[in-house]
Amino acid sequence: MPPTRGATVADRDPQAHLRRISEALDGDGALPHPLDPEGAAFLDAATRLRSRMRVEAAATPPDVTDAVLERVRAEPKARPSPRPLSLVAAAVFVVAAVGAALAVRPGGPIAPEPVLADVGERVLQAQQDVLALDAAVTLVERGAHPEVPVRTYAGTLRYQAPERLWLHLVQDRTSLATGFPANDLDLVVDDGRAWSSGLRGCPVDAQPGCLGDSDARVVSGLAPFAADWVAPLDLVIPVDAFLPGAELAASATGGGVEITTTVARLQRTIDGLRAAGALRAVHATDAVRVELDRDTFTIRRLTVTAGDTAARVAWAASNGYSEPAGTAVLDLTLTEQSLPGSPFPTAPIAVERDAGFADRADPGGPAPTWLPTGFSAHRGGVQHGSGATTTVRSWSDGRAWIRVDVTTERAGDALVGGLGPIVRALEVGDGTGYTDPTGSVVSLHDDGIDAAVSGSVPLAVLVRVAASLPILGRELPEGWPQGEVLESLPEGALRPAGALIARYDGVDLLVALPGPGQTSAVLRQRPGTTLGPAAKADVSQVEVRGVAGRYEPRTQVVTWVEGGWIRELRSEGLDLAALLVIAEDLRP
Amino acid sequence: MDEPDPRVIRAAAAGDDDAFTTLMRSAQPHVWRFLRHLLGDEETAADVTQETFVRIHRSLGRFRHQSRFSTWVFQIARNAAVDEQRRNGRRQRLLGAMAPSSPTPDASLGSELRAALASLSPRLREAFVLVEAFGLTYQDAAEVLTVPTGTVKSRVFRARLELVQWFDAGAPDEDASDEGGHGG
């Protein structure tokens, strides 16, 4: 049929004609004119359809207000510090900057992809659905040594929930440098037994002589999700970057979700990759772009790019790295595919270390009466060592896990669970519990019994599990260092806008500023009016909260004097800009 | 959904329960209706509505006021629905059963219309519902669904075409692609 007079080229395609009508119905463009009979019929039918959709019978929506308020009030009373907002703001800025840089490509500008609102929440949810992953792995490593500009690897990653994982990488022999042995590596965690083989990392300046030969290290008797040899589960799905309930700006890409952040935020993922062999080190402030699968939130690609902050430059100089800023120093890809053969190899013959855990079908001791839906019993048993015996139970759902340690033989006047010196109190059921600044573990103390609840789940879940234990947490006895927490600060001292987590260390006042991954910071304050002499030559002058201060890049410390107080803000994973933002947000 | 006063959002983000309750009471009928369309049964929609507002409560401090609040709310509701469908699919797999490909018919809609909506793929259905039932612009729907605007246009058109065909002649063309959109 010849086109109607006045019709466009697109109208010759009936589908394009109908699509224009559809778009015009939604206020996007004008109706094509004239309408052919097919178009008129489509318009008529679509208009009737709209009427039916918009006059649907008004069902009464349920009122979920009370249920929601009950749930949100059940979350820990000590609310997390709002400091991560600053980090989110910084991350948004970085994403915006990167987005702007990417907005023009060969072929013309592209529209930025929409930003995801709650990727962290979804990652935490999705971990429960990851039951197994087989993937082909490639890795490109740049700048490991001045004589090794690039090394490439190929291999596999096999994972079975909750804690069986094998990372196998073989260096491409065409990327071997003279005098350097092949950096092949294996890392296997198979429930209570783990081993790794490969070269051992050593100072860059001493390579290749210090690398020696590849060898194996074997550990048995590992407790479930053992803190001293944690299966690098964050290589599968980066949960740690989003605990405790911290978000990151994310953009949707074709089939994926892309996040731009720093190594500090994804430290556990990077550590998992570097847990075997002699892969190069990266700095906490190096940029990371990670792409997650949009459906499963497993990692598809992770790229670490050398940064150019003063701290990074100082670190690189002292560790023998010389790559220019912007170099993609690690570029990892994971391509999900079916892999043949037996998934988990047996450990090589090697000296074996016993970590002291014995599996038992029923470890005894108190157990929680509440667990999140879907969690089922994983391994349990008894941990010996450090002068105490601890019963351990664990539960898992996919990659997500929860572990409860209970002991009647606590050693010393300290909470169990490795909380560190600064803790904060929480309401746990009808009693009191304690958590570390980042909320990764909940510890209970009662007469003659102590417990710790940890896991890859938000603090609110840990608290609820702890509250279901037959242990009523008490406030810490007089004299326990961790019990000397402050509920208020002396006049003139600064604190974050959110929860106060502080204690004295001698005359110094310590205030914790928690953050996910390695992005936590500590503010140390003491009365004083002058800074001592700078210890290092590379100290730079900076403006902090409107006054002159200084920044020491090697230790990543900002120091300043304000209002009769000497203040020192320190973080392993935050660069100067982030530290200054945090300092700005502090208040009396 | 009417856009709330930004002062109410800020107050809720600062921990004011009354402000949060105001936001919730205003938005929850729309959220529930949206989820009922996506999930197909009222009970599940109510559960996911509750989950949506818990997530909103946790995330309010991160709402940057750079997009419409309603769009942000729909995005979180949609994500919660996707998570629920994934969990449900997993439960079905573990039970050795086939995951349902279509939602349970929505009893509050006319029987023909609910059957027609249930015949759409989830991707077409969510785009169509946002634009047709809630009057979102293509751009706002694209933000909710985290796809390019052109994909929303394409999906809404495909949904309309399938529904019109369904009413005219019975079953829609199941093989039709739902993509073909371009950015912009």
pLDDT in tens, A232-284: 889 999 998 887 666 777 887 777 889 999 898 888 899 888 888 899 999 98
Q: Which residues of A touch B46 (CB under 8 A)?
A: 62, 64
Residues 148-177 of chain B with CB under 8 A from chain A are 148-149, 153-154, 156-157, 160-161, 163-164, 167-168
Confidence of residue A287 (pLDDT cuts 50, 70, 90): very high
B180 vs A: CB within 8 A: no
Residues 363-422 of chain A with CB under 8 A from chain B are 374
Query: What percent of chain A lies above the pLDDT cut of 70?
Result: 87
- d(CA A493, CA A563) in angstroms, rounded, equals 9
A92 vs B: CB within 8 A: yes
Average pLDDT over residues A100-105: 30
Average pLDDT over residues A496-517: 85
pLDDT in tens, A390-408: 999 999 999 999 999 999 9
* A500 contacts A488 by C-beta, under 8 angstroms: yes
pLDDT in tens, A424-467: 889 999 999 999 888 889 999 999 999 999 999 999 899 999 99
Distance from CA of A397 to the nearest CA of B (A): 11
Short-list B83, B48, B153, CA closest to A19 = B153
Q: What is the pLDDT of residue B97?
A: 35
- d(CA A269, CA A275) in angstroms, rounded, equals 10
- The ipTM of this complex is 0.78
Q: What is the pLDDT of residue A140?
A: 97
Q: What is the pLDDT of residue A78?
A: 42
- Ranges of H-type helices in B14-65: 17-39, 42-59
Sign of the CA dihedral running B93, B97, B102, B104: negative
List of long-range contacts for B41-49, beta carbons under 8 Å, 24+ apart? B41/B103, B41/B104, B41/B106, B42/A59, B42/A62, B42/B106, B42/B107, B42/B108, B44/B84, B46/A62, B46/A64, B47/B84, B48/B77, B48/B80, B48/B81, B48/B84, B49/A61, B49/A62, B49/A64, B49/B77
Short-list A47, A53, A64, A51, CA closest to B106 = A53
Q: What is the pTM of this model?
A: 0.69
In chain A, the largest separation of any two C-alpha atoms, in whole Å, equals 94
**CA-nearest residue of chain B to A80?**
B58
Interface test with B, best of A20, A50, A56, A293 (most B CBs within 10 A): A56
Q: Which residues of B touch A62 (CB under 8 A)?
A: 32, 42, 46, 49
| Pairs of CB atoms within 8 A across A/B | 148
A61 vs B: CB within 8 A: yes
Q: What is the pLDDT of residue A576?
A: 86
Q: What is the pLDDT of residue B172?
A: 44
pLDDT over 50 at A100, yes or no: no
Q: Which residues of B touch A47 (CB under 8 A)?
A: none
- d(CA A274, CA A282) in angstroms, rounded, equals 10
Which of B17, B108, B183 lies nearest to residue A57, judging by beta carbons?
B108
Which of A19, A53, A68 lies nearest to residue B132, judging by beta carbons?
A53
Distance from CA of B118 to the nearest CA of A (A): 13
Q: What is the mean pLDDT of chain A?
A: 83
